[in-house]
A = this chain, B = another copy of it.
């Protein structure tokens, strides 16, 4: 999981960013980055914390919270807030642009791609005074499995 070359590149990006900002290169920062780039799905802070513990890294929750913000700022990680649950994150480097379909019943998240979103972003860029950094398109609905379950139960809950 996670190709070696990508990991080398993202470490370099983090290193450059830290130096440019005058931040320190702590082992915790690289450990968190390493762990995130070994994961392929969306994750929350608690899950990342547990995974790191299990993999023998000793990093506190506070440090994860601090550094995941930093990783978002330098574009290596993206934060999502699907539904009203806690924040979920995913790695952002060399991941082809994609958006999300979210089942409002079971919480399942599916990714999809549509290049036309770029045109919308470009228009927004032209028409606004914003310097655009990133976007999130979430489409909410009911997935096939949930629809089947609902149809099995004739009584409206």
Interface positions of A (Cβ within 8 A of B): 20-22, 79, 81, 84, 87, 101, 103-104, 110, 112, 114, 116-117, 119-121, 123-124, 127-144, 147, 156
Contacts and interface: CB of A to CB of B under 8 A. Distances in A.
A130 B116 contact: no
Nearest to A87: B84
Contact of A84 (B81, B101, B124): B81
Contacts of A130: 101, 103, 110, 139, 141-144
B114 A124 contact: yes
B112 A124 contact: yes
Contacts of A117: 120, 137
B133 A142 contact: yes
Contact of A129 (B124, B137, B138, B144): B144
A127 B139 contact: no
A91 to B, nearest CB: 17
Contacts of A103: 130
A141 B79 CA distance: 14
B132 A112 contact: no
Given A81-B81, A112-B127, A124-B114, A136 B133 contact: no
A36 B129 CA distance: 29
Contacts of A123: 114
Contacts of A22: 156
